[in-house]
């Protein structure tokens, strides 16, 4: 290795900017653009700050920063239309979109005080397939999931599920579970099956660097695939590769949608996804609640054909709206048609001072 | 195996020059330039001044570029050299800090001394720790020679681009690069050999 290559190798080994650094730099630039638009653009050299972290200038100029940061106020994150961001421009690729989303997510962490709770209100679309004595059935069901996460101990979270209507996809059998209007409470750890993604101490150990997160998630998926169950023929390299890509995509998307994932961690997830070559942009996507947005899609081969995970973002602010899981089904003589296999939409996240008392009783599946 | 997934929206490649020209009337178009190069500029400044300074100066680079965008020569399709030039000018205000940093790195532990339980983290930290010999060599270069060397090594800029970035003749780029490489080779050569 010559001296130029040695320098280059060192340069390439350095981590990229932290998501919050990119977010603050973006805000500064957005403020400058807005100031120019308002006719007061600064042409003076920007005063240099004393060494040390912090973004004093951001605070000073926060009054003119609109759009990207405007929806994060008083500890509430509500997805809404604040008008165009001063730097809003249609991303040229899914990677650009995800980097935008990472920068936005990095700047919106909710910080509850001890004794407070993070409250997340989401709409889930649950997909179920099964068989009854009268025949097979397949349906989706809307479920409102509200999660209260104690600041002091996320392991003691409470989930309230309010079940909505079922949409039968095939079959007529009534599986006889949770009719519309059913409300169930579940305390974290109460049941073997969690109502929503569970809190895990491992979340605290997630890498803070997108490259490392991607490497770790891939390594975990490979380790899982390498564990061939006893009595089963070993998988071919190609089969393993397909399964690894599937697990990788699903795990990263699940992590993005997990209510216990902090906004900072979600930014790292988006950063990791932006580095996957299989991610493509969907200019007109819709989340599980029907809100229109711009999507980032990860396609992979499942056991029954092509499947994809689609992350959906608010088209002006790039705030995360939710995700959908879709499968391609071959249609006789026509184009393949996609059908929904589940999804989630974040409706609101905010800090609250209390959580409801869970009534006695256990959920249907526990 | 079936056909690979089709991109539902192929990226549209708009040149940097075109983006900048559009941003004269529509400042928001400058955001795309930020997306393209913020990480690149940050990493370059990080190499020279450390991460903390890079956080500030990379942001400052884009503010200055935004303010100066109407003077950009749109005959130059890529804005990479222009942005590296602005970043290099900002680094120039911190010459002493840069030299201090290299001297400190030259005195620091060799990568082999990095310890940790996670292999990936260890690899990353080890890679991110500059070889003491390399740091010592960079500390001894003149500021002008170092600018050229690092723009070529880190930015992978051509002689013409380096000349543009620094506002010097191409011939000067060549002579500075040769001088810097010779000097550096003298210093890090034995170190590399010692590492085996």
Interface residue B27 vs chain A (CB under 8 A): yes
Least confident of A14-28, A240-254, B74-88, B104-118: B104-118
pLDDT of residue B166: 94
pLDDT for residue B11 is more than 50: no
> Is residue A361 included in any domain, yes or no?
no
Say how far apart CA A222 and CA A240 lie, in whole Å.
8
Q: Is residue A306 part of a domain?
A: yes
Domain span at residue A104?
2-352
Lowest mean pLDDT among A168-172, A195-199, A217-221, A328-332: A195-199
| Higher-scoring residue by pLDDT: B96, B90 | B90
The percentage of residues in chain A with a pLDDT greater than 90, rounded to a whole number, is: 25
Q: What is the pLDDT of residues A93-116, one digit of tens each?
A: 899 899 989 988 988 777 888 889
Beta strand residue intervals within A133-268, DSSP E: 135-150, 158-170, 183-187
What is the set of domains in chain B, with CATH numbers? Answer: 14-93 (1.10.1740.10), 110-196 (1.10.10.10)
H or E element at residue A292? strand A292-302
ipTM of the complex: 0.81
Strand (E) or helix (H) holding B33: helix B30-49
Whether A34 maps to a domain, the answer reads: yes
> In this complex, do B28 and A89 lie within 8 Å of one another by their Cβ atoms?
yes
For residue A209, being part of any structural domain is answered with yes
Does residue A352 surpass a pLDDT of 60?
A: yes
Within the 124-163 window of chain B, which residues sit less than 8 Å (CB to CB) from chain A?
A: 124, 127-128, 130-131, 134, 137, 149-150, 152-154, 156
Q: Is residue A157 part of a domain?
A: yes
Question: Quick check: A332 pLDDT over 90?
Answer: no
In the stretch 284-303 of chain A, residues with CB closer than 8 A to chain B read 297, 299-301
The answer, yes or no, to whether residue B121 has pLDDT greater than 80, is no
pLDDT at A61 over 50: no
Among A355, A359, A267, CA closest to A311: A267
In a domain? residue A364: no
Residues 123-162 on A with a CB inside 8 Å of B are none
Contact A87, A289 (CB under 8 A): no
Residue A253 backbone dihedrals phi, psi, to 5 degrees: -70, -40
Q: Report CA-CA distances (Å) from B144 to A49, A184, B83, B87, B91.
A: 26, 69, 17, 14, 12
A218-251 b/e (C-beta count within 10 Å ≥ 16 → b):
beebeeebeeeeeeeeeeeeeebebbbbbbbbbb
Give the residue-averaged pLDDT of A351-364. Answer: 81
A233 pLDDT tier (thresholds 50, 70, 90): confident
pLDDT top residue among A201 and B16:
B16
Residue A175 lies in a domain: yes
Q: Which helix (H) or strand (E) holds A286?
A: strand A279-286
Residue A360 domain-assigned?
no
CA gap B128, B57 in Å, rounded: 20
* Cα gap B152→B139, rounded to integer Å: 17
Contacts of B131 in chain A (CB under 8 A): 6, 10
């Amino acid at each position: 290795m010559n001296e130029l290559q040695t320098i280059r190798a060192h340069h390439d080994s350095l981590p990229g900017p932290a998501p919050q650094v990119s977010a603050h730099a973006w805000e500064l630039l957005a403020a400058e653009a807005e100031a120019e638009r308002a006719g007061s653009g600064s042409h003076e050299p920007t005063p240099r700050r004393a060494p040390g972290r912090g973004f004093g200038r951001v605070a000073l100029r926060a009054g003119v920063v609109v759009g990207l940061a405007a929806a994060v106020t008083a500890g509430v994150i509500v997805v809404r239309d604040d008008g165009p961001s001063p730097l809003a421009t249609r991303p040229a690729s899914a990677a650009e979109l995800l980097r935008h989303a990472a920068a936005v997510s990095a700047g919106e962490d909710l910080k509850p005080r001890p004794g407070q709770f993070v409250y997340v209100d989401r709409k889930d679309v649950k997909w179920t397939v099964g068989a009854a004595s009268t025949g097979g059935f397949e349906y989706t069901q809307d479920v409102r999931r509200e999660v209260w996460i104690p600041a002091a101990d996320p392991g003691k979270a409470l989930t309230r599920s309010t079940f909505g209507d079922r949409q039968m996809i095939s079959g007529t059998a009534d599986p006889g579970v949770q009719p519309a209007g059913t409300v169930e409470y579940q305390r974290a750890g109460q049941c073997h099956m969690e109502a929503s993604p569970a809190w895990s101490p491992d979340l605290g150990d997630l890498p803070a660097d997108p490259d490392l997160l991607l490497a770790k998630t891939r390594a975990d998926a490979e380790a899982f695939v390498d564990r061939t169950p006893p009595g089963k023929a070993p998988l071919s390299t190609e089969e393993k590769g397909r399964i690894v890509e599937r697990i990788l995509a699903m795990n990263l998307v699940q992590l993005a949608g997990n209510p216990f994932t902090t906004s900072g961690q979600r930014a790292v997830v988006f950063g990791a996804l932006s580095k996957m070559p299989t991610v493509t942009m969907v200019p007109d996507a819709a989340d599980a609640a029907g809100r229109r947005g711009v999507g980032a899609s990860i396609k992979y081969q499942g056991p029954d054909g092509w499947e994809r995970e689609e992350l959906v973002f608010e088209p002006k602010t790039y705030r995360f709206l939710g995700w959908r899981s879709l499968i391609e089904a071959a249609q006789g003589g026509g184009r393949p048609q996609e059908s929904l296999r589940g999804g989630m939409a974040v409706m609101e996240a905010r800090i609250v001072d209390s959580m409801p008392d869970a009534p006695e009783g256990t959920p249907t599946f526990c | 195996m079936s056909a690979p997934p089709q991109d539902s929206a192929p990226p549209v490649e708009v040149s940097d020059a075109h983006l900048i020209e559009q941003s004269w009337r529509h400042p928001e178009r400058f955001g795309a330039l930020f997306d393209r190069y913020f990480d690149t500029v940050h990493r370059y400044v990080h190499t020279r001044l450390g991460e903390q300074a890079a956080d500030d100066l990379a942001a400052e680079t884009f503010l200055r570029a935004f303010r100066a965008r109407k003077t950009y020569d749109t005959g130059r399709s890529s804005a990479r050299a222009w942005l590296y030039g602005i970043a290099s000018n900002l680094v120039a205000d911190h010459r002493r800090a840069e030299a201090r940093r290299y001297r400190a790195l030259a005195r620091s532990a060799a990568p082999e001394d990095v310890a940790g339980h996670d292999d990936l983290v260890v690899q990353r930290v080890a890679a991110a720790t500059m070889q003491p010999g390399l740091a010592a060599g960079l500390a001894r270069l003149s500021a002008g020679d170092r600018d050229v060397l690092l723009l070529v090594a880190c930015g992978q800029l051509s002689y013409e681009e380096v000349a543009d970035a620094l506002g010097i003749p191409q011939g000067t780029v060549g002579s500075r690069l040769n001088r810097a490489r010779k000097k550096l080779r003298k210093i890090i050569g034995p170190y590399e050999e010692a590492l085996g």
